[in-house]
Structure 1
Amino acid sequence: MSDDAVLPLDSWHRARDARMASFAGYAMPIQYEGIIAEHLWTRENAGLFDVSHMGQLFFSGDGVEAAIEALTPADVEGLALGRQRYSLLLTGDGGIIDDLMIARWRQGIYMVVNAATKGADIAHIEPHLPDNVSMKVLTDRALIALQGPKAAEALGRHVSGEYGLDALIFMAGGQYRLAGEDVWISRSGYTGEDGFEISLPATIVEEVAEALCGEPEVKPIGLGARDSLRLEAGLPLYGHDIDEHTSPIEAGLGFALSKRRREAGDFPGAAQIIRQREEGPSKKRVGLIVEGRQPVREGALVVDAEGQEIGKVTSGGFSPSLEKPIAMAYVPAALAEPGTEIALQQRGKPFAGTVTALPFVPHTYHRQPKP
């Protein structure tokens, strides 16, 4: 692990006896007390995640909206101040280069990309930017996430700003003060729970982590539970459930294609993606409940009656909340209806699964109340 990059909270994790491992070129905490205990704590209380390995980018200049729209299917022009959207970097034939978050700050557009792909993302984005648009990689900032039903209560004791955290609904953000510094807080996350992501100066992240974990509702949570939580929430992991060989329609991410951009058909891969949206894809990402107690893992095969491969499991594990094995897989569209029985094979051993609607565990995002 000597070649791994060290993040600002590295010594803080080690002081808490975190089990560290290499992930995307970084030394990351995998677990503290244990994955199942940390998973259930987050579902019931609040968990603090170090996600500083993610790439934080900032774009500014005249025409910045058009520059980002040339690379994604997002309506960046219509993105209001303090609002955030999930979007995708797309290839010319509609494959997914990466999934990401885009937010409008007062000074420009903020973007968060995946750790494993950020170098390739930057290399892809940079040549497409016009001379009047600049991109800055925010290497001086850390990124943490506080997730769970008690996250707002715990974080609210430490922040100040023009308006309280209660004013933030899901996928909204704003500038706040935390530990004497300006920070960006968005009501978003990767667990399916209500919670927040905080972009803050690296110089204060240890002080903030210590303060938040001093609250009775909060414990530090490792990458292992982050993965099991996102799987229960039905959220894809780049490089596993989505990649350049999958389209947004196959992956069930059609919501990331804004209506204006769909109608204009002016984003990378638009012709293929819109045709697939209208005609239906040949394969779909689905959720599976797996019979028995042994989980199937990424790479397990979906097979037909003759044992021939017709699909593949992309994520799988044991669900601590449901106490049963779950998985996500790509299957032929004809088999994607909930309730369909699916035959699986892992290392030559047969398994049985049933297609189920995603998410496995309902999302509890803090949304705008319906009138």
Structure 2
Amino acid sequence: MSELNKTPLYDLHVELGGKMVPFAGYDMPVQYPLGVKKEHLHTRDHAGLFDVSHMGQVILTGENAAAALEKLVPVDIIDLPAGKQRYAVFTNENGGIMDDLMVTNYGDHLYVVVNAACKEQDIAHMRANLGEGVELEVLDDRALVALQGPEAAQALSRICPAVNDMVFMDSRHIAIDGVDCFVSRSGYTGEDGYEISIPASETERLCRLFLEQPEVEFIGLGARDSLRLESGLCLYGHDLTQETTPIEGSLIWAISKNRRADGERAGGFPGAEKIFDQIANKNYTRKRVGLLAKGKAPIREGAELVNADGVKIGEVTSGSFGPTVGVPVAMGYVATEYATLETEVYALVRGKQMPMVVSKAPFIEQRYYRG
């Protein structure tokens, strides 16, 4: 095995009792002494600090950067206002999702955050396809952390009052305790909060400052996963793959109106023809849905989904107990005729059919701060 990468916060994780595990090529904390369930509930009630430095951070500069990136994604990048962030997906020629990402317009440059497991592929994809006149810089010298929860703004504004003025999907260059940071009011938990890109050399110092705030606890990958699942947010490589189109993945909202078949800048991204056919003709056979278990046992990723007659109709792609909702929650793909809300399906667990109901995802109320 090749040696695992370490984030700038590795020593702090170990010092604070983080249980370290391999994740996307990095040595990352899956939990702390508090435990996954308490970490999850602390984030829902107060504020959690997450190390997400394994993600890829990239700067794109050049006059044509927005137009060039727009050719690789089905969202509107050209008209993304300065100081705003947008969710996007890279698509392949078959309309499949290569990765999901966040794009920020900082006026004179675009800031792109991609998933850890896909970052080498994504960077190569951008280098090969953005064309001349666009410069790509990989930010290897920065860490990325997320401060999430209903008390995140209260905690961070005590250190940096400027963050209070931001609303959901705002992004700014802000000095926090004298350190130049990229701050967005966004996250992966369904709660209000911030994602903060910090120079690696200052990351531990700033995070110790964040952790001094009474609302804040360090949170590991375990609770990060259950928080995002309760909030109906996809995990790439599980709920979304190269074989999944945005339509099958219930991400039609991630295709901007002016990029659709009748839009002013329609198409122009890989796989557009197939995606437009799926929108117009419902030419697809499966769809991502939320699932609530009727029993108490969590239904895990990979469990087959069957109908009442035991015929396979799909598969669970993410599953866990939902500490906030108090029942097992899951996401998965079912044949389109079973995708209607309140449809009963069954998960096969050790040969037994466990009843589940197709449900709305998110399973909790998302509490993003919109002003």
Task: Give the TM-score band, short-chain normalised.
Answer: over 0.9
Conserved 8 A contact 1:300-1:347: no
What is the distance in 2 between the residues matched to 1:242 and 1:179?
38
**Which residue number in structure 2 is paired with residue 332 of structure 1?**
335
Quick one: distance in 1 between partners of 2:325 and 2:313?
27
- Distance in 2 of aligned mates of 1:217 and 1:156: 12
The match for 1:265 is: 267
Which residue pairs with 1:3 in the alignment? Answer: 3
AA at the equivalent of 2:41 = L
Alignment correspondent of 2:30: 30
Q: Is the 8 A contact 2:56 2:119 kept in 1?
A: yes
User: RMSD between aligned alpha carbons?
Assistant: 1.2
Q: Within 5 A, what are the aligned runs for 1:1-371?
A: 3-32=3-32, 33-159=34-160, 164-262=162-260, 263=263, 264-280=266-282, 281-368=284-371
| Distance (whole Å) between structure 1 residues aligned to residue 329 and residue 288 of structure 2 | 13
TM-score w.r.t. length of structure 2: 0.96
Asked if structure 1 preserves the Cα contact closer than 8 Å seen for 2:46 and 2:151, the reply is: yes
Separation of aligned partners in 1, 2:142 and 2:17: 24
Cα distance, 1:2 vs structure 2: 7.1
Deviation at 1:175, TM superposition (A): 1.2
Equivalent residue letter for 2:280: E
Contact 1:179 1:204 in 2 (8 A): no
Deviations 1:13-59 (A, max 9, x none): 00001000000000001101100000000000000000000000110
Give the letter aligned to residue 365 of structure 1: Y
Q: Give the deviation of 1:278 after TM superposition.
A: 2.1
Task: Tell me the percent identity.
Answer: 48
Q: Which amino acid is the alignment partner of residue 225 of structure 1?
A: A
- List, as ranges, runs of 4+ consecutive aligned residues in structure 1 with deviation greater than 3 Å: none
Q: Which AA in structure 1 matches 2:3?
A: D
Letter in 2 for 1:36: K
User: Which letter maps to 1:330?
Assistant: Y
Alpha-carbon separation, structure 2, partners of 1:2 and 1:146: 31
Aligned length in residues: 365
Distance in 2 between residues matched to 1:203 and 1:231, nearest whole Å: 32
Runs of 5+ consecutive residues of structure 1 not aligned to the other structure: none
Q: Does the CA-based 8 Å contact 1:13-1:29 persist in structure 2?
A: yes
Contact 1:338/1:356 (CA < 8 Å) preserved in 2?
A: yes
Equivalent-residue separation in structure 2 for 1:255 and 1:197 (angstroms): 22
Give the whole-Å Cα distance in 2 for the aligned partners of 1:195 and 1:99.
20
Unaligned 5+ runs, structure 2: none
Structure 1: how far apart are the matches of 2:312 and 2:345? 12
Shift of 1:167: 2.1
